[in-house]
Amino acid sequence: MSREGQPAFSAPVNVEDVERIAAARLPRAALDYYRSGAGEEYTLRNNREAFRRLRIRPRVLRDVSIRDLSTVALGKRVAVPFGIAPTAMHCMAHPDGEVASARAAEKIGAVFILSTLSTRSLEEVAEAAPKATKWFQLYIYKNRNITEDLVRRAERLGYKALVLTVDAPLFGIRWADARNKFHLPPHLKLANFTGPAEADGVRERTTKGSQLQAYVTDLFDQTLTWDALTWLKSITKLPIILKGILTKEDVEEAINHNVAGVMVSNHGARQVDGFPATIEALPEIVKAVCGRCEVFMDGGVTQGTDVFKALALGAKMVFIGRPVLWGLAYDGEEGAKTVLEIIRHEFDFTLALTGCSSIAGIEKEMVVPASFYSLL
């Protein structure tokens, strides 16, 4: 028994349990980097709270004895309608880092997106999880040769898509990172690079504030316009997904450039405090896309019911970021797999208890705002 007279904590049963364990194990600077958002973190909280403001309208007396959780994304069938979002520097959570995360995704049958700012390389991840469906998240550097090299390597190694982040000409103001003077620990590097400015540059770059913010300010191309997408399409045949879309106006630009998909994302609420929660923005984007490309979403997804709600509102697939990092800190590859298994289990039960035997059975009318039930 614990000191409070409650049963001692054992194996985690939900993502919140895993996060609690991770918070107790991670060094303070790494924990703050992973969990923080921009400004007062209203948008960070709202990413979660907006899901809670949605209600599920279940159907009954339907045969749900056999359930199929699979979906098709970019023409490839995958086992579950969720994947691992691109998040930086997994090795701060566990030495195996992105290799462990990719292996966990492979075992579950989930899509894995590797970040440009990863602490294990494109090559290491491809070798470790050869059967996983892998996409590569891309930033465009001022030195376009660096970006082109990343694209060529991703193609050669069998990554199936490029996820171009379009909401980060700069990184947002994150107070925790500024207080901690966040930097990459000395035993780690950004593994996709050989040049010291790119590989080791997230430390000793400035005398105050976040070293990562200084890195991005120095190296990322802030002059980018839609012409950059034209350039990117000229050097690759991989399908391109634009990550960071929050408005219907940008959807039209994306469609005009023939992208394969858009990802509704507010960068984990880490850019501007006051952006909408991604689940709030999703219906506008789905309506604007009108079936012309695929729609994905990340931000605030921690439960199987969140997956269900996002799919009902029109997402093809959702992506999970911080929970996977908590899983790594909890138990490496097994911990990351535990998180994915928890969400799969919850989603499976949600399907059954709403009368759906597959994703095709999820109807838009099954998810409504809480105000739908207001008594007037």
What domain range is 184 assigned to?
15-356
- What pTM value is reported for the model? 0.96
Q: What is the mean pLDDT of residues 36-56?
A: 98
Indicate the helix (H) or strand (E) that contains 83.
strand 82-84
Query: 222-275: per-residue pLDDT in tens?
Result: 999 999 999 999 999 999 999 999 999 999 999 999 999 999 999 999 999 999
Average pLDDT value over all residues in the chain: 96
Question: Is residue 374 assigned to a domain?
Answer: no
CATH number of the domain at 178, please: 3.20.20.70
Provide the pLDDT for residue 204. Answer: 81
187 noted as active-site residue: no
Provide the pLDDT for residue 82. Answer: 98
Question: Is residue 252 assigned to a domain?
Answer: yes
| Helix, strand or coil, per DSSP, at residue 78 | strand
The CA distance from 53 to 165, in Å, is 28
Q: Which two tokens stand for residue 18?
A: 């895993």
Question: Is residue 1 assigned to a domain?
Answer: no
Angle, helices 42-52 vs 304-312, to 10°: value is 80
Beta strands 54-56; 367-369: pairing state: antiparallel
Question: Is residue 204 assigned to a domain?
Answer: yes
Which of the residues 90, 94, 183, 267 is marked catalytic? 267
The CA distance from 125 to 346, in Å, is 28
Question: Is residue 371 assigned to a domain?
Answer: no
Name the CA dihedral angle for 360, 134, 344, 80, rounded to a multiple of 10 degrees.
20
Question: Is residue 249 assigned to a domain?
Answer: yes
To which residue do tokens 């923080």 refer? 36
pLDDT at residue 179 above 50?
A: yes
Is there a contact between 116 and 145 (Cβ–Cβ < 8 Å)?
no
Question: Is residue 288 assigned to a domain?
Answer: yes
Question: Is residue 335 assigned to a domain?
Answer: yes
User: 89 φ, ψ to 5°?
Assistant: 55, 55
The CA distance from 190 to 196, in Å, is 9
Strand partners, 111: 83
Distances (CA, A) of 149 to 287, 292, 319: 36, 30, 26
Q: Which two tokens stand for residue 319?
A: 């992506």
The CA distance from 318 to 316, in Å, is 7
Could you tell me the end-to-end alpha-carbon distance of the chain, in angstroms, rounded to an integer? 48
Q: What is the mean pLDDT of residues 337-361?
A: 98
Instruction: Provide DSSP, 64-106.
Output: -SS-B--EEETTEEESSSEEE---S-GGGT-TTHHHHHHHHHH
- Domain tally for the chain? 1
